Structure 1
Amino acid sequence: MLKASSAAAFLLAVLLSPASALDGTAQTPASQEQVKKLIALWHQHLDGAHTLLEQRSAFEKFMESTPQPTRVQIKHVDADGVEADLMWPARLHHPIGTRAILYIHGGGFYSGSSRTHRALAGALAKAASADVLLINYRRVPEYTYPAQIDDALDAYRWLLASGYRNDNVVIIGDSVGGTIAIEATLRQMRFNAPLPAAVVVMSPITDLAATGASMDDNAVSDPLIGRSQIETMRKAYLGDRSPTDPEVSPLYADMTRFPPLLMQVGSGETLKDDTLRLATKARQAGVDVTTEVWTGMIHQWQMFPFWLDDAKRSNQRVADYAMAHFADKPEE
């Protein structure tokens, strides 16, 4: 396990890491084939699902067919009214109790759950030697904005009330989970409340107005999400609220004083510019931002470490980043 005293260790690891799909090199044929097979499976399970509830059900069934986490303990908890799974490495008989990851799943605000994201959350618990609180926030269409952000904040505050120090908590989210992670942290900033040690977002939607050029440039290469899907989820999530409201789209927010931020995105994603534009804005505001663009990866590739080698590598980097920012470092 990482024993570095600061985030400098993570940056050193980046410089010394072997060439991979991250560093701008060409995607390997093996990686291309793995992504191709994943896309085929995605179409097999999700094509034909049209309404939000149909897509929710199809996604759940798809993920139920994937491998479940191993070598982790799971305890169902009530995190101040938010249903959640508390996960930790199986070698321990009880939660670590010091370091925690608050994991916020993706799924377009309307799908995804602790069941769909257990494999990813479990992998992070083991790799980061941390407890992971994987929450089931309220989803659309049953609950609209701001229920999702309210639930994330309630869960974060539950961790603090349970004895985890804020400098030992990292918030991580994929897709709209990343959106919620950023917005929840921004709200904490507006309240002048304790902030997490760091935030990690994987392919977040930072602009619900969908104005990024990659929306069109990568429309063919990314079958998982596009402009029409974002417009549908935006209407269900926001109603008549403006998608450029900084309290719903981080791209339009003031990022000054935001905690250290790791952003991962695939080069073939429609959401690539959502990451790159927010990263630029955050840096200009003085935020410590690390941006990773993974060659040939599609939206939410990190969810599939059992099928994609690049998902295993990218998830390990997320775990390393979390460990580098925990105030209390894991022991070897």
Structure 2
Amino acid sequence: MPSTTAYGSMAIGEEPKPQAWSCASAFKFTLVTGFVATLLVLLEMQFGGIVGVVLLALLAVVCVLAFVAFCFAARPFSSSLVLVPFVAIKLQVKVVSILAAYAGRGFKPTFPEWTLVYELTITMMRYTFVEYGHLVGDENAPLLRSPFRMHGEFILKSNSRKHNTIPEKLQANGMDHMWLRDPEKKEHRVVVIHFHGGGYVVSDLLQDVELANQTHTMLQQILKDKYKLDVSVDVFLPNYRMAPEHLYPTAVNDCFDMYQYVLKHENIAPDHVIFSGDSAGAEMSLSNCIRLRDAKTPELQPLAVLAYSPLVDFSETGGDEKTPYCLLAASFADTCLATYLRSVTEPEVLFNVSPINHSLLNLPPVFLQWGSLERFYEQGLRFKAKADAEGVTNMELDVLHNFAHDPVMFPTAISPAAEKAIRHGCEFAAKQAARVLGGKVGSA
């Protein structure tokens, strides 16, 4: 049924309606294939056998390069180096099947909100997590961290120039972290601390460089345009130790310690700090606010929390049959959680790991966002319903219809919902910041 949030009306609880493979779609696919084949034949007739030789040579080079790339991608999903080529072949076959299905639908994605690139990404991630999630979520986890870091390192300078931020490395608590600094040092500023996701076992803080820079730009722009506030916005990407090398509660404690570090070394008040996190990082943002509340230190609570696709109930992650279009397959999600919680043996401790098992009163303003197709969506609705039942009035829910888990994790070139999803979070954060800064900062 429809539900209204601060960002408009959206459908909640509706069954997904994928695009069907119709006769018309198949006919279009046949026409396009026939056109390409005819064009190649005409070129061959016009220029002779040399065209065929050149085309075959180019095709061979492309195939070799593609296979090498797939072998590189297949390593984290292989239990040994010997199996890498075979896994690479399976991945290539899967890509071809996705493209064939796309063509068969008349070159339309499964859902109208998707693009081909997003569908390829989501479907391939789900496939690898279904087939090899038991490896990636445990023993092969370290192998799936470097690609995320490499991506972040590759775009760091160019993306920071685009958003007018200055990358600044920090070494603290035995780890490397990253600041994305606002070059304009104003008297007042807001700091966003973003904790990356990855199921507590994979990913890297640099994976979220684009998300962090967009947050800087959007939050600053909304504060200036809507609230007439001219404020510096710095974004901090902290590191934390992950499983299987470091088990619960290492990661959440590392996040808490880096928040304390920022307060101590950046000369900034807690009510000028915004927690942000996606997936596992979002859960740890919520858990640390609960920790501060239970420690009776309300003065240390951050200004607000932006929780993108958080896991809030560790006891119920859902089955694959309920979420066939989510990138998080049960094999991967369950293995990650089992690995992360391997040291937890007492039922009471396990119960308290889940944010949903705590009171949600007296927390900072919280922005919650899930995709309607994702594994954590149903528990997200239960989390918000619990908050409403307790009388919580400073929590907002945003649902991205027909999107899978964690749309903000992907670059905007991949996820068509990323920019909108981040903007919704920044609108919420700006509203909270304006409430605190309104009487302190002059008009733009």
- Common topology (TM > 0.5): yes
Moved more, 24-33 or 103-112: 24-33
* Residue in structure 2 matched with residue 8 of structure 1 by the alignment: none
* Residue in structure 1 matched with residue 7 of structure 2 by the alignment: 14
- Whole-Å separation in 2 of the counterparts to 1:84 and 1:21: 39
Mapping 1:40-59, distance limit 5 Å? 40=123, 42=125, 50-51=135-136, 52-58=138-144
| 1:154-173, Cα deviation, whole Å (9 max, x unpaired) | 11122222222111111111
Asked whether 1:118 is paired with 2:111, we answer: no
Match of 2:268 among 161, 164, 182: 164
Q: Which amino acid aligns with 1:290?
A: E
Match of 1:153 among 225, 242, 256: 256
Does structure 1 conserve the Cα–Cα contact (< 8 Å) formed by 2:179 and 2:234?
Answer: yes
Q: Which amino acid aligns with 1:85?
A: M
Distance 1:187 1:82, change over 3 A: farther
**Cα RMSD after superposing both structures:** 3.2
SS at match of 1:269: coil
Match of 1:269 among 374, 391, 394: 374
- CA deviation after TM superposition for structure 1 residue 320, in Å: 1.5
Mapping 1:278-293, distance limit 5 Å? 278-287=383-392, 288-293=394-399
Match of 1:218 among 322, 329, 348: 322
Q: Which amino acid aligns with 2:340?
A: Y
* Residue in structure 2 matched with residue 295 of structure 1 by the alignment: 401
| 1:137-156, Cα deviation, whole Å (9 max, x unpaired) | 11111111111111111111
Does structure 2 conserve the Cα–Cα contact (< 8 Å) formed by 1:256 and 1:285?
Answer: yes
* Residue in structure 2 matched with residue 308 of structure 1 by the alignment: 415
SS at match of 2:169: strand
- CA deviation after TM superposition for structure 1 residue 218, in Å: 3.2
Q: Which amino acid aligns with 1:323?
A: A
Distance 1:56 1:274, change over 3 A: farther
- CA deviation after TM superposition for structure 1 residue 233, in Å: 1.6
- Whole-Å separation in 1 of the counterparts to 2:119 and 2:11: 15
Match of 1:108 among 179, 194, 199: 199
Deviating beyond 4 angstroms after TM superposition, the runs of 4 or more aligned structure 1 residues are 19-22, 24-28, 43-49, 79-82, 93-97, 329-332
Mapping 1:221-240, distance limit 5 Å? 221-222=325-326, 224-239=327-342, 240=344
Rg comparison, structure with higher value: 2
Distance 1:80 1:285, change over 3 A: farther
Distance 1:95 1:20, change over 3 A: farther
Distance 1:199 1:243, change over 3 A: farther
- Whole-Å separation in 2 of the counterparts to 1:166 and 1:202: 21
TM-score, structure 2 normalization:
0.63
* Residue in structure 2 matched with residue 99 of structure 1 by the alignment: 190
- Whole-Å separation in 2 of the counterparts to 1:96 and 1:107: 36
TM-score, structure 1 normalization:
0.82
SS at match of 1:115: helix
Does structure 2 conserve the Cα–Cα contact (< 8 Å) formed by 1:207 and 1:274?
Answer: yes
Distance 1:79 1:290, change over 3 A: farther
- CA deviation after TM superposition for structure 1 residue 56, in Å: 4.3
Moved more, 198-207 or 244-253: 244-253
Distance 1:258 1:267, change over 3 A: same
Distance 1:217 1:227, change over 3 A: same
Distance 1:65 1:197, change over 3 A: closer
Does structure 1 conserve the Cα–Cα contact (< 8 Å) formed by 2:407 and 2:421?
Answer: no
Of structures 1 and 2, the one scoring higher in RCO (CA 8 A, sep 6+) is: 1
Q: Which amino acid aligns with 2:408?
A: Q
| Unaligned 5+ runs, structure 2 | 19-110, 221-232
| Unaligned 5+ runs, structure 1 | 1-10
- CA deviation after TM superposition for structure 1 residue 113, in Å: 1.5
* Residue in structure 1 matched with residue 350 of structure 2 by the alignment: 245
- Whole-Å separation in 1 of the counterparts to 2:5 and 2:386: 24
Does structure 1 conserve the Cα–Cα contact (< 8 Å) formed by 2:7 and 2:398?
Answer: no
Distance 1:220 1:56, change over 3 A: farther
Asked whether 1:325 is paired with 2:432, we answer: yes
- Whole-Å separation in 1 of the counterparts to 2:404 and 2:146: 19
Q: Which amino acid aligns with 1:266?
A: G
- Whole-Å separation in 1 of the counterparts to 2:387 and 2:252: 20
Q: Which amino acid aligns with 1:104?
A: F
Distance 1:261 1:191, change over 3 A: same
> What is the count of residue pairs matched by the alignment?
313
| 1:223-273, Cα deviation, whole Å (9 max, x unpaired) | x21333232122211124349735311111121211111110011001101
Moved more, 267-276 or 284-293: 284-293
- CA deviation after TM superposition for structure 1 residue 217, in Å: 5.0
Match of 1:31 among 114, 134, 143: 114
* Residue in structure 2 matched with residue 64 of structure 1 by the alignment: 150
